[in-house]
A and B are shown apart, each in its own frame.
Chain A
């Protein structure tokens, strides 16, 4: 590390799990998370010269989110996988409200993955990457007020989906 700037190897070693966790919660599956982390570390290596010491995990969360959003945009331009026709595959049929609090991690991840991207990203950045509203706003290029409303709607939707799973 020189002048507070880590090498990319140090980033991979010390923050690799963080990057992978954010990538996994954003993408919802292991294969895509691996691709996202790999691309993010390539960008980290290329961009380290421009990194200004500060919140390293904030910077990393921003990079991996941008990689994810770039991938989503690319897919929208060239859709390759048909969406399932059966809505039950996306939203498995659902238990009582108090059972939601004991939902299994796989159910929570499935509900998270089925949130629309505009709600999922703020939820992951806030509740997985532990980013402030200001950091999320800067990452996504949206006002803080929009972060608030998307985060709140994302959590509400997530709760509804988990109630359906539990039913």
Chain B
């Protein structure tokens, strides 16, 4: 790119310069810095080394049989998509191969099953803890209310009713 003003050098430009991704003005700034600054040259050597090492990595190979499995999965995915839309020949629908569950989806299914199991377990625990069970202790509410009403009618001031509680909650060590 031409026609732009001078650009200030910044270290980020070094990688772009290496990759041929600088404008003309940026390239000029980098080259001026490289000519005058040992530090810029050192930084350039570092990123050049990292870049070459990654670019020189061998092409990894998947394990034997991988491509056959992938093709089967992708074809099965395509077949399941097609069966969602229309079954052109109902007679042939019965002979379609069972779809292969993709690895990721298989993991997702497992996670959902685990989550569903956990939810059921939580629901059972909640039911046991929260739902009133027959035979649980049932306080004699009616009798307590009657007793309270009787005491209130005898001791009409609230403070004297509470006094024993206040004493028992004193500053004990």
Contacts and interface: CB of A to CB of B under 8 A. Distances in A.
Interface in B80-139: 81, 102-104, 111
B62 A148 contact: no
B166 interface: no
Interface in B1-55: 11-16, 19, 21, 43, 46-47, 49-55
Interface string A122-159: 01101110001100000000000000110111011011
A101 B53 CA distance: 7
Contacts of B66: 34
Nearest to A161: B50
Nearest to A124: B54
B71 interface: yes
A46 B53 CA distance: 35
Contacts of A112: 54
A20 B57 CA distance: 14
A159 B50 contact: yes
B55 A155 contact: no
What is the interface of chain B mostly: helix, strand, loop, or mixed? helix
Given A20-B62, A155-B47, A9 B57 contact: no
A128 B57 contact: yes
A33 interface: yes
A45 B77 contact: yes
Given A155-B47, A159-B47, A45 B78 contact: yes
A-side interface size class:
35 or more
B149 interface: no
Interface stretch (A35-43, A50-58, A88-96): A35-43
B104 A35 contact: yes
Interface of A: 8-9, 12, 16-17, 20-21, 24-25, 30, 33-35, 37-39, 41-42, 45-46, 78, 100-101, 103, 105, 108-109, 112, 123-124, 126-128, 132-133, 148-149, 151-153, 155-156, 158-159, 162
Interface of B: 11-16, 19, 21, 43, 46-47, 49-55, 57-63, 66-67, 69-71, 73-74, 77-78, 81, 102-104, 111
27 contacts: A8-B74, A17-B59, A24-B60, A25-B54, A25-B57, A35-B103, A37-B70, A38-B69, A38-B70, A38-B73, A38-B102, A41-B70, A42-B74, A103-B53, A105-B58, A108-B54, A123-B54, A127-B54, A128-B57, A148-B21, A149-B12, A151-B15, A152-B15, A152-B16, A153-B12, A156-B50, A162-B50
In order of increasing CB-CB distance, the 4 nearest A-B pairs are A152-B15, A155-B50, A127-B54, A159-B50
